[in-house]
Structure 1
């Protein structure tokens, strides 16, 4: 959940998540914070990946922006073979500590350290939210590059317009960081996916619940 797009932004995002990594892993150890509707989309993604993998095929999923690895574990528990990548070495250290059976590596969304067509699925679970609009197209193009023909992509994000300062969330735990997230609409994401050669399959846009400030969106796409 912590990979940024543009290099100028990524350094600050990396510093922020390196700073909060231990508290992040402690407070979000699994998927209990996710809404049931959102998790249903993740489970549908995992099912689509498995169904699209024929006999002898590997249902290999890239959790791109994996943070401390909680969604990687969720996908692994649902029959996918998962590789995690994140910009923050601190987050990767937490993922390796807490999910020792899964492989994790440091990397960026705009320069994924994997060959073309490597994965049956790519998960972008709230990992594009720190990327300004100008960098989003590059992120989706890179995700499409590492997907196999017929592979699936799932992206989750806060939906809307504008920018939010999220540093205050971490100040409650004693961390002084600089961190913003950028709101986008589902239609904007659909356009970026289409430009990358991805076809939208379905979308969920739901209203904010609990402490959430914004609508939440999850979109499933496949390689055209």
Structure 2
């Protein structure tokens, strides 16, 4: 359902959000903070859509690739950012080895996952991250399921979830992340809800005798 909806809206979505980060200093600061925490290696944006955040991460000096569930979104991303790598995939089953990813950004890409399934998603993100690898999440704040039936100029039918930042942070801790940045801001522009941002890192569980 989600894949079909984003396949339908891919071109319109890309046009509408292309310049969305312009003038949003908070978001730029959060992405820069994330980038500064990446030591070395490839970064992955999961749910990259048309690739605008992947491009921003690249401009911050990161070796970054994008992944999205929607083949049409990936087609748009490859066309608009031909110098970057993009592939179709699911954040529930990433095509990456254990501890092989230096950092992960999920920019409004967990919002279509039912909250009961988020622990499994966070466990998968944890699996592929290197020890101490950073994770940046962005999502709408709240505690409700919203049925979307007309977005980006198209008739579609899929769900989005407004998520409680404290609940999401708790799930991350349970998945063996340490959450050290929490940002909550009021709605801007067309937004109808407040927005939440979390930066966490995969705990380094290697003890002194195992090094």
State the match for 2:207 in structure 1.
none
4+ runs of 1 displaced by more than 4 Å? none
Deviation at 1:189, TM superposition (A): 0.8
State the match for 2:206 in structure 1.
none
Q: Does 1:67 align with 2:52?
A: no
Contact 2:126/2:175, CA 8 A, preserved across alignment = yes
State the match for 1:9 in structure 2.
none
From 212, 215, 219, give the equivalent of 2:191: 212
Q: Take 1:163 and 1:205, find their aligned partners in 2: how far apart are those partners?
A: 19
Question: Across the two proteins, how many residue pairs are aligned to each other?
Answer: 203
State the match for 1:198 in structure 2.
177
State the match for 1:18 in structure 2.
7
Q: Which has the higher contact order (CA 8 A, sep 6+)?
A: 1
Mark the runs of 5 or more structure 1 residues left unpaired by the alignment: 1-11
From 122, 127, 130, give the equivalent of 2:109: 127
State the match for 2:92 in structure 1.
110
Q: CA RMSD in A?
A: 1.3
Q: Secondary structure at the match of 1:18?
A: helix
Contact 1:31/1:70, CA 8 A, preserved across alignment = no
Deviation at 1:210, TM superposition (A): 2.1
Q: Take 2:104 and 2:50, find their aligned partners in 1: how far apart are those partners?
A: 17
Q: Secondary structure at the match of 2:7?
A: helix
Q: Secondary structure at the match of 1:222?
A: strand
State the match for 2:158 in structure 1.
179
Deviation at 1:179, TM superposition (A): 2.1
Mark the runs of 5 or more structure 2 residues left unpaired by the alignment: 204-211
State the match for 1:42 in structure 2.
31
Per-residue CA deviations over 1:170-190 (Å, capped at 9, x if unaligned) read: 3xx2x2110221011111111
Q: Secondary structure at the match of 1:83?
A: strand
Q: TM-score, normalised by structure 2?
A: 0.92
Q: Secondary structure at the match of 1:93?
A: helix
State the match for 2:63 in structure 1.
81
Deviation at 1:199, TM superposition (A): 0.4
Q: Take 1:30 and 1:111, find their aligned partners in 2: how far apart are those partners?
A: 30
Q: Take 2:85 and 2:19, find their aligned partners in 1: how far apart are those partners?
A: 17
Deviation at 1:30, TM superposition (A): 4.2
